Each structure stands twice: as C-alpha cells, then as structure tokens.
Amino acid sequence: MILTEDERRMRDGAEGPAVAAAMDLLIRYGHAVGAERLCDVRNVAGTMTQPSPVKARLVAEGGRDKAFAVINLDSDGDFAIPDMRVPTCQLQHGFGQDALDIVPYPRGNIELQADAEAFYGRHGVNILATCTPYQVGNLPTFGEHCAWMESSAVIYANSVLGARTNCEGIASTGAASLTGKIPCAGNHLAANRPGTHLISVDPKARVDSFLDWGMLGYFAGGVAGEDHPVITGDFARPDLTDLKHFGAAAATSGGVELYHIPGITPEAPTVEAAFGGAGNVPPATAAHAYGPAERRQVYETLNDIGDSRDVDFVLLGCPHASVDQVRQVAAALEGRRLSASTELWIMVPRALREIADRSGYTAVIRQAGGRVLTDSCPAMSRVAPKGTRVFATDSAKQAHYLPAILGIEAWFGTTRECVDAAVTGRWNGALR
C-alpha cells in the first residue's frame, strides 16, 4: 500500500505509540481489503461507549486506556490514549440512562457506560448518543470521506448525503479517530458507487407514506443484498424520515450501504447517472417489479411473528425519531390515555429531546402514559418493559430484529396503528 510521508511518520511512532498502533491496524486492514492507499477523513462516528463483559474486565485490569488499546486498536500495548486527531462522535449507547428506573438495566453497565462517556468526552469525542448523527448536526458534505459505523447511518450518509463511507467497526473507527485515515476501498471509490439493481414501483403499489418507504426498503434489501438498488417508478417525494426508514430497512433485510433514487439522491440526477452511464442501465425486462403482490409479501413477512393481538409494548423511533415524528405521536395521543396493560416508548436523540420538551410534545406523551426516551433502544440494551410478550412498531428494522433478540411477538404497521394499539391494548392494524 502506498503511504504518504505523514502516514509513514505516524506508523513509525513520531506521534506516539497509540497513533503508531492505529496506523498499524489501518495498514493491516487496508491490505485485507485490497486498498492501494489510505484516504483522509475528518468525520468519524463510532459506538465506543457500549458496555460489555470483556470491556469491563479490561477496564478493571488496566483502565480505559488499556480497554481502548485492545478493543479500538487491536493492540496489547501499554500506552495513554491521546485526544482524537479529527472530529469524532459517539453513536448510540448500550443503555439509556433516563430509563434506569423504568426497565431493569444492570446498574453496573450503566456505571461503566457513564465512565466511558466521561473518558471519551475528555478525549474529544462528541457524545451524540444517537444512531442518527445526521439529525443532530453531523452532516458530512457531498463526496466527503468518512469512517462511520451503524448500518442505518452509513446508508443515509452514502445515499442521501452523497458522503463516502464503508460500514466500519469498533476497531477501524478507533484507529481512524486517532489518525484521520481509513483504507480507500469500497464505497470510497467512485467506480464502486453506481447502481446494480433496478427496482420499479408499480402505480398499483404507489409508495407515499412512512410505512410504504420502510416496506419498499425491506424489499430493496432483499433484492440487492449488499449491492446498490436504484428505485424508479411511482412514488411520492420522500422526506428525511421516509429515507431514514427506507435505508434502515434496506440495511436490515440485506446489507445495503448505498442506494440511488433518480431525481432525489445526489449522485443520481437521472437513471443513467445512477448506473454510471446509459450503457449500464439494465433493460426494463430485468427490472425487479414492486407491485401489490410484493408489497403484501413484505407486509406479511414483517407481521409473521405476530399471533396474540394483545399488545404489551409499543416501540417507536427506530432509527431514532425526528422532532416531527415526536410531534405526530403527541398529536395522536392528545387527550387519550394508554391502556393500563401497554407501555409506549418513542426513542429520540438526546439533543432532539430538548426540542420535544420545549415544544410541549413530551408533556402530551407523558400525560397519556407514554415515554420519550433517549440514547439507546431495546435492540441495543436487549431489554423491554418487564413482562413484554407482544410488541408493535412502525419500524421495519425493529420488527425484523427484536423478536429474535428478546423472544417476543411483533406487529408492524403505521405510526397511528401503533399509537391506537397502545391506547386500546389491542392490535388492529391491516394493510391498506
């Protein structure tokens, strides 16, 4: 791999042993993925603070520096961790501290996480505590190279913002934060970014709601796998929350990190541009149709695990909700009261919670018996309200993952259907 003078200096220890270990890791990683060089990054997003038994043991043995060396740098060196070299943010936590007295979180994990938050904050990591950094001010510019974790954030950065990032891990983001480098491979290279699969939305399955964008994303992930779907056909213009849901779903049913919607996403002014040239556009006969049958199939898959219609728990805000989503939930709950047997949580970034509070939305939701919670989600903390057997959600991602993680039944539907289920305690959703 070709290294610049600056990269060689870092590798050889001119900036200390932690940076040298970080460069060593990136060079090994670069070789493994066939990168010819490293690219400069000034935007790193990682999930550094989540507690784990291994981390707890390392912290007990050698403190946070030791844990960072082993987990984030794949090094057994004994050295102090310097401040981050480039802007770095923390994504979602393992636990939301504001739910400590609501759900049975292990107190030791909360303490470990708080200690990690303080350590990373002191070293220059912005503690955003959300899987949606782009909702709280971390908006990379078009074409900017980044090193991000979290599949729903990665697909948003690549597709909606036109930034360039692979789906990184704990070690590579740790090394990137100390060096400002990441292997230049995969989504960083223009040649790897054109569309691969053409999906055509049939007018009879017109996509024009949050629910529909999530279902179309789930379909697109199933079709494209780890490649790049291109969406054409009959759909209403999506907004931020629609694209957030679409991307999270596509990264769930498949491993999609980049998609194009001609006329909507920035690298695809046209279908031809989405595929990297007119000659690469698949013939119409090769398009994957998304019609009423496919739409129903996705809906049934996401509701496959629902059996009992008695709903114990309603979970909204995956990926973390926008302020407008919180406003909609508050409007749907105004003057109503949750069923005595049902809990409702809406997960939001902690920075947006402040806006929801000051806009009065949190108070309305709380008055109805619901909760606006921050920092994490049940899939991360692996905890739901005590006794939950059946949950309902408007998120294709949570409907896919949570039943397997917690061994519970799931219903998937519109936000309004979920709110109604929280009020009545019964699931009455249906595909319309």
Q: Give the binding site for ligand F3S (CB under 6 A).
A: 92, 131, 152, 248, 318-320, 347, 377, 379-380, 397
Q: What share of the chain is helix, strand, coil (3-state, %, to 5)?
A: 45, 15, 40
DSSP state of 237: P
Determine the Cα–Cα distance for residues 48 and 236; give it in Å rounded to an integer.
Answer: 38
Distance in Å, CB of 166 to ligand F3S, minimum? 18
Please report the DSSP string for 92-134 in residue order.
--SS-GGGTTTS---HHHHHHHHHHHHHHHHTTEEE--SS-GG
Complex with ligand F3S: residue 233 or 254, whichever CB lies closer? 254
Distance in Å, CB of 251 to ligand F3S, minimum? 9
Distance in Å, CB of 52 to ligand F3S, minimum? 16
- Given a contact cutoff of 8 angstroms between Cβ atoms, the answer to whether 130 and 350 are in contact is yes
What stretches of 206-270 adopt beta strand conformation (E)? Answer: 229-233
Distance in Å, CB of 374 to ligand F3S, minimum? 11
Complex with ligand F3S: residue 264 or 405, whichever CB lies closer? 405
Distance in Å, CB of 319 to ligand F3S, minimum? 4
Complex with ligand F3S: residue 51 or 195, whichever CB lies closer? 51
Complex with ligand F3S: residue 44 or 396, whichever CB lies closer? 396
Distance in Å, CB of 400 to ligand F3S, minimum? 10
Complex with ligand F3S: residue 306 or 378, whichever CB lies closer? 378
Helix, coil or strand: residue 208: coil
Complex with ligand F3S: residue 152 or 322, whichever CB lies closer? 152
Helix, coil or strand: residue 316: strand
Q: How many CB atoms lie within 10 A of CB 347?
A: 30
What stretches of 254-332 adopt beta strand conformation (E)? Answer: 288-290, 313-316
Determine the Cα–Cα distance for residues 172 and 44; give it in Å rounded to an integer.
Answer: 10
Going 395 to 397 to 400 to 406, the CA torsion angle's sign is negative
Phi first, then psi: give them for residue 431, nearest 5 degrees. Answer: -75, 125
Complex with ligand F3S: residue 69 or 248, whichever CB lies closer? 248
Distance in Å, CB of 317 to ligand F3S, minimum? 6
Determine the Cα–Cα distance for residues 239 and 220; give it in Å rounded to an integer.
Answer: 18
Complex with ligand F3S: residue 152 or 303, whichever CB lies closer? 152
Q: Which residue's structure tokens are 């993680």?
A: 405
Determine the Cα–Cα distance for residues 215 and 298; give it in Å rounded to an integer.
Answer: 6
Distance in Å, CB of 212 to ligand F3S, minimum? 19
Complex with ligand F3S: residue 211 or 347, whichever CB lies closer? 347
Query: Roughly how many angstroms between the first and final C-alpha of the chain, as a whole number?
Result: 55
Q: How many CB atoms lie within 10 A of CB 159?
A: 27
Distance in Å, CB of 152 to ligand F3S, minimum? 4
**CA distances from residue 387 to 107, 408, 424 in whole angstroms, order as listed:** 20, 10, 18
Complex with ligand F3S: residue 43 or 50, whichever CB lies closer? 50
Helix, coil or strand: residue 424: helix
Helix, coil or strand: residue 244: helix
Phi first, then psi: give them for residue 85, nearest 5 degrees. Answer: -80, -30
Distance in Å, CB of 364 to ligand F3S, minimum? 22
Complex with ligand F3S: residue 275 or 411, whichever CB lies closer? 411
Distance in Å, CB of 380 to ligand F3S, minimum? 5
Helix, coil or strand: residue 289: strand
Give the chain's length.
432
